[in-house]
Amino acid sequence: MLIWSWAGQYCRPSSTTGHQMGPLAAGRRLVACLLNISEARNRDAVEKVARAAARKRHGGWREGTSVLNIFSDRDYNRSVITISASVESVETLPAVAGEAVLSACEEACRLVDVRNHIGVHPCLGAVDLIPLYPLGEDVGLEECGIEARVLAARLTELVPGTAAFYFGSADMPLHRGLAQRRKEIGWFRKTTDLSCTQPDVGGRPQSRYGLTGVGASPYVMNCNVTITTEDLSIGRKVASGLRESTPGGLPGVQVLALPHKGAVEIACNVESVQGAPPAEHWPSFSVGGSTYYHIPASLISTRVAELAGQHGVDMEGALLVGFTPQECRLLAEHAISQGIGEYWREQHGARM
């Protein structure tokens, strides 16, 4: 049976919160960061990182910013914190979006020691990933790429011993994707000798902080599907059949098979693909005059069920981590226009 579970209940602004869309919501220039940190078992630490994004360094809420969601997985020992920020001009991008994300990263570096990390999900850094996504037509990928580079430089200056590699629009001029960069760095290996790593920014990474991926791209969703087996070899076969690079694979899907709660989870990064959607019901959106689409999560779960069934295994359930691009923009507009800095609290969004 298919079970959809949300990390933070998604609801339209007028449904359960009692807030109405304010006049400032229209026309906002918005960016989102799905900040990945290598901690999920210390709830207090994760919430402090989220709070650092929403609050100013010297007290008070950070105007134009909201933490929409926190998703934490204990087996993975990894949390994804969805930070949204409003920008009104190119010049204000570092001051609004950058300051919120940077403050959260500094707090994560203070609280998380990657040397102590125990979890089944690969990681290289206390702050493992800083992806910036434009929400809508008014903020471009180039803008987000430049800001990602600024963020990486400032983090390595403020926290000596941190280091980063670029991906996507921040990786100028090559624009290599995240999966390629992770392979080059060794992110997928169980142990990586960072002393031999040449980061794009920062010096030799200290083992406590590790290495951080920083970049920008069209929105990437996370969809995890559980199959009823503990046999990881079956999970890897299912993952291979889903992967975009495999003949017959799904567009935009990058995937790992990981042990999870006595079963196997097919963990998918669902990248947005440029071009017109191949089917009318596939969601699409526009960035910088270009159309992008993403495969519906329901089709991913259907394909997982088909592939798993070939090995006599059932699908147990599916989890969409966070939001679709359209939902993220809608919630960001609502939360920021209403001044709700910790929107995730209203939705009881921390899953521990």
Write down the pLDDT at residue 122: 94
Helix (H, G, I), strand (E, B) or coil at 278: coil
- Amino acid at position 58, single letter: H
Q: Which of 110, 49, 103, 53 lies closest to 78, judged by CA?
A: 49
CATH entry, 12-218+327-346, from 3.40.50.10800, 3.30.990.10, 3.20.20.140, 1.10.10.10: 3.30.990.10
- The DSSP secondary-structure symbol of 92 reads G
Write down the pLDDT at residue 326: 92
Stretches where the chain sits below pLDDT 70 are 1-27, 88-97, 347-352
Write down the pLDDT at residue 22: 40
CB of 342 closer than 8 Å to CB of 51: yes
- The whole-model pTM stands at 0.90
Write down the pLDDT at residue 223: 94
99/58 Cα distance (integer angstroms): 13
Helices (H), the chain: 43-54, 93, 99-111, 141-158, 178-185, 232-242, 297-309, 325-337, 343-346
Write down the pLDDT at residue 72: 95
Task: Domain ranges for the chain, please list them.
Answer: 12-218+327-346, 222-319
247/235 Cα distance (integer angstroms): 18
